[in-house]
Amino acid sequence: MDRESRINELISQMTLEEKVSQLSDTSAAINHLGIPEYNWWNECLHGVARAGIATVFPQAIALAATFDEDFVETVAAAISDEARAKYNEGVKQGNRGRYWGLTFWTPNINIFRDPRWGRGQETYGEDPYLTSRIGLAFVRGLQGNDTENLKLAACAKHYAVHSGPEKLRHTFDAVVSKKDLFETYLPAFKALVDGGVESVMGAYNRFQGEPCCASNYLLKDILRGRWGFTGHVVSDCWAIRDFHENHKITATPEESAALALNAGCDLNCGCTYPQLTVSLKKGLVTEEAINTALKRVLRTRFKLGMFDPPHKGKYGKLGRKVINCEKHRKLALKAAEKSIVLLKNDNGILPLDSNAKKITVVGPGAANAHTLFGNYYGVSPRFVTILEGLGEKVKDKYGINLEYRQGCLMYGDNNASNAEFGTANIADVIIAVMGLDGAIEGEEGDAIASDSNGDRAYIELPPWQLKFLQKVSAAGKAAGKPVILVLTGGSPIAIPEDIADAVIFAWYPGEMGGAAVADIIFGDTIPSGKLPITFPASTSQLPPYEDYAMKGRTYRYMTAQPLYPFGFGLSYTSFRFDSITLSAPSISAGASVKAKVTMSNTGKRDADEVVQMYVSKDDKSADDPLSSLRAFRRVFVPAGKTITVEFNLPAAAFETVNAEGNSVLMPGSYTVIAADAAPVPVSVEKGATVPVKAQIRVNG
């Protein structure tokens, strides 16, 4: 019997109550049909979360900073190995509880439109194209290469137009133009649907008045209609309860359940779908609608092999030996190294040389393991803090005297007498580790030190940290000694430009993060990460947080000069873009053009660089993007060598989204730009390589 016949046969033998029992995240066992209980709620944002020991990779925003699709897919494949192994072991031991399943509510492909959003760390940044490419790579790594026999089921969330404020997410109505919707908020979701993602999760908020988990426009018209999505839709957790309790769209749970089911939400994470039996009795839903949702969720379980004999199939032999194995720990180290961004390096202070015999480490992040996690994390038997990483690095290799002073608190001001730092404390170099951790930024309820439900009211370095850092900086300048600032966090942090001689942004770098930071500082690894989000110079540059219009946001629409631009990141060598040539002077619908970029490593170290291709319409309107990332590639360039990198740009790379939300090919002149950061004036000023440009004519 084929799969669809088996599904129909099972449904035909179920009572109404049994059918409804399968449409919640805690799906009950139906023993007489051989259906085991199953909990749909599982997380693996940057490693299997909340299910005991697992390899903790750098947070999602850090993985995006690698600008390396193939590598991200490798990381996701390692995560899926551990997830399958946990599931296999759990089934063997009779554990079918939450976080031990095969349906993972990952990745988060919302656009990080505002750096105050505490959950922006879960995303792949502010750019729709980068988010699409990294998201697709992650899905491929999780699901495997067999669409009918999934390794795991990935989930694109939170659909759609969802990025804070956390405090308002259960009541907020996001209103945007069709241009912004289809130009910024939806492209990544469409890309993942086209790429075969198995499920989509609806958002908590409303969109244009409709709850996202019951939006006919989002779920019926776009997701299943225009895009042809055939997988299952799941609600965010207790989002359907919000319909009657917070959004006030419905009056009762049975009305909320019916509204969601009829719009195409198949699975409820929460407590509302058991009321579907009442909804049916009241004529609010049909049994056919229940059967349709049931077919979709059962189809996913069949694809995952849940009705096959235990431990059979291509993934049945994965066991506990793969969980947090040495190979995965090394991969976590490599991921952290590739993601760390060097933002500043005056006078080539970094990497440190052997003349630095005394190092003083200060700051509340140095010995703080929470700066490694981010949110939605697992537990590793060993988390290497930045202080530990530095200590291990100098233990034998350098014979350096390493001292540590916390100096100030992570979450609030301390007594002034405990925050002094003068020239008497000066070493050959000072390494200050400051920034954020998950207690300050994160999801509503998790960020216990946040005054804004996990969001940030301001993007500047917390004032109590800045006050101490200013003392450190002043002492360093007075003594003529350099200050290296290491920042941790999942979102942009605005700092005074003269506060340190070198600045490293480490993100939430995972279990091996401290070792990676030490490798960067001492030059055993050359920094190559790039910013997947613009770092504004101050909070005052940002539009109102609740405003979802893209005007003034991200490198595509922001006219103010940022502190650091999207795509930016320095190296310990130097690069030069020599030329760009296009295979044709013009392009028409359905065609493509090849762009060849010649670049050289003009320094003394072999290193990676990320070549970024941007397109800008020369005669743009006021609401068109200033430029848009259309391709990128991480390449290795030996010292003193020149390479050529070729990109294929389809006509779609030159399309404009009009006021009706339609992508159209507007005739005119366009500029194709090869760069290593977004082409804003401040890029080269900060140390980015001078971009090269070519003109092309687009035919209507």
Q: What is the pLDDT of residues 206-217, one digit of tens each?
A: 999 999 999 999
3-state SS class at 437: coil
CB-count exposure of residue 451 (10 Å: 0-12, 13-18, 19+):
exposed
Locate all alpha helices (DSSP H) within 114-204, ordered by sequence: 128-143, 178-180, 187-194
In the predicted structure, residue 398 carries a pLDDT above the cut 70: no
Structure tokens belonging to residue 240: 């359907």
pLDDT, mean of residues 155-168: 97
The continuous run of DSSP H or E covering 159 comes out as strand 155-159
The C-alpha torsion from 68 through 70 and 74 to 76, rounded to 10°, is 70
In the predicted structure, residue 143 carries a pLDDT above the cut 60: yes
% of the chain surpassing 70 pLDDT: 98
Structure tokens belonging to residue 51: 């299910």
In the prediction, which pLDDT does 397 show?
Answer: 66
- Which among 73, 126, 441, 455 is annotated as catalytic? 441
In the predicted structure, residue 417 carries a pLDDT above the cut 60: no
Q: Is 519 a catalytic residue?
A: no
Enumerate domains of the chain plus CATH numbers: 155-303 (3.20.20.300), 334-522 (3.40.50.1700), 575-698 (2.60.40.10)
In the prediction, which pLDDT does 325 show?
Answer: 98
Helix axes 187-194, 128-143, angle to 10 degrees: 30
Q: Is 81 a catalytic residue?
A: no
- Sequence-ordered strand ranges (E) for 251-405: 341-345, 358-362, 401-405
In the prediction, which pLDDT does 395 show?
Answer: 85
pLDDT, mean of residues 34-59: 97
- Which among 114, 236, 388, 655 is annotated as catalytic? 236
Structure tokens belonging to residue 562: 């940022």
Structure tokens belonging to residue 86: 């946990």
Angle, CA of 375, 381 and 386, to the nearest 5°: 65
pLDDT (tens digit per residue) in 426-439: 789 999 999 999 99
3-state SS class at 92: helix
Residues in contact with 253: Cβ distance below 8 Å, sequence separation at least 6, in sequence order: 241, 244, 272, 275, 278
Q: How far apart are CA 526 and CA 350, in angstroms?
A: 10
pLDDT (tens digit per residue) in 630-661: 999 999 999 999 999 999 999 999 999 999 99
In the prediction, which pLDDT does 304 show?
Answer: 97
CB 530 within 8 A of CB 567: yes
Place of tokens 């259906």: 35
Global pTM reads: 0.97
